[in-house]
Amino acid sequence: MKPKHHLRRLILPIAALSLSIGLVATQSNLPAFLTENETLLLLFTAALYFSAAWVASRVLAIALDKAGKKRPFPRLLKDLVSAVLFMVAFTATAALYMGQGAIGALAGSGIILALLGFAIRNVVADTLSGIALAIEAPFRIGDWIDIDTLAQGKAIEIGWRTTRLQTLDVTYMILPNSQIARQRITNYSAPKREFRAQLNITLDHVLPIEKAREIMLDGLSAAKLIQQDPAPDIRVRSYEEGGISYTVRYWVPRFERAVDCRDEVYSLIDDALRKAGSIAPYRRIQLVSAGPETGPDGTTTIKEAK
């Protein structure tokens, strides 16, 4: 956001705070019928508390916007900050109005709050989980994430009760925050947008390891989608009877290109191996009938060769 927009967001809160400070500071100079009205004086003080909370919440929201230019903070975090500040202002006003009776009033409402909390426990669980996600920030708006057993997509909005994701198929998913908080979260956009992926390929023992590496890396040098810096590399994964298994590691520039990058890697390696006259091994099982055979006891059997 531009500095002018930030200033516009502060005009009304600062004006309200200035007016409240002026009323409280000059209350001794007000007419007698106003200064004798305790409710009116209390109203001036309450206005001061709430306008101060308004200004503080706007200033902190602007600070979060500036700090999150590349990876924006969730709107929930700003709402949480504002809610806490206004709650402080409300508590201060209530204590000022009721004096010592404020504590008794809060204690007396404890049972009602407990019953209400039990009735809306799922909503409370989602809300508290949303607050935890906002504070810990395992992901932010625009991050591509994988929520184990639930979904995979880009975070569009993190609300009080739900988080909204856009999948690779451009579908919209709305997940309760309490479910997300219980799952393992993989963030593919942090700390950087690029990440390393890998795939496994098994080749015949006839092709030496170093030669296999050379063929596959030469093929990947023509890649257009995967990153060449850092360059892809190949490691031997296993050496078994069925062939030598290799792990091809490469860097994906953005998560949304992961599928295209994997397709490119497979295609280039397949083309390079075929041009070199080597393909991945496969097992072939043939059943060949040898015709009926009569045994010494007179029984007839059919021989099969594999």
Residuewise pLDDT in 10s, the chain (306 residues): 556 666 777 788 888 888 888 776 766 555 554 555 566 677 777 888 888 888 888 888 888 777 766 667 667 677 777 877 888 888 777 776 765 444 544 444 455 556 556 666 777 788 888 888 888 889 988 999 999 888 899 999 888 889 999 998 889 899 999 999 889 999 999 888 999 999 999 998 889 999 999 999 999 999 999 999 999 999 999 998 889 999 999 999 999 999 999 999 999 999 999 998 876 555 544 444 445 555 555 554 444 444
Please, which residues have CB within 8 angstroms of residue 93's CB and are 6 or more apart in sequence?
42, 45, 46, 49, 50
Query: DSSP H helical segments within 120-276, as ranges?
Result: 121-136, 177-181, 209-220, 258-275
Beta bridge pairs of residue 195: 252
Cα–Cα separations (whole angstroms), residue 181 to 119, 131, 139, 158, 206: 21, 10, 12, 12, 50
Of the candidates 52, 58, 43, the one whose C-alpha atom is nearest the C-alpha of residue 16 is 52
Please state, in angstroms and rounded to a whole number, the distance separating the CA atoms of residues 178 and 255: 25
- Range 173-178, long-range pairs (CB < 8 A, 24+ positions): 175/147, 175/150, 175/151, 176/126, 176/129, 177/126, 177/127, 177/129, 177/130, 177/133, 178/122, 178/125, 178/126, 178/128, 178/129
Please state, in angstroms and rounded to a whole number, the distance separating the CA atoms of residues 106 and 130: 26
pTM over 0.75: no
Do residues 248 and 211 lie in contact, with contact meaning Cβ atoms separated by under 8 Å? no
C-alpha of 58 from chain center: 25
Strand intervals (E) in the chain = 144-147, 151-158, 162-166, 172-176, 185-187, 195-203, 233-240, 243-252, 288-294, 300-305
Widest pairwise Cα distance in the chain: 131
* Residues shown for the chain: 306
User: What pLDDT does residue 40 have?
Assistant: 66
DSSP for residue 241:
T
Return the amino acid letter for 24.
V
Q: How many C-beta neighbours within 10 Å does residue 204 have?
A: 14
**3-state DSSP percent of the chain in helix, strand and coil, to 5:** 50, 20, 25
Crossing angle for the helix pair 75-98 and 101-108, to the nearest 10 degrees: 120
User: What pLDDT does residue 217 have?
Assistant: 95
User: What pLDDT does residue 288 have?
Assistant: 47
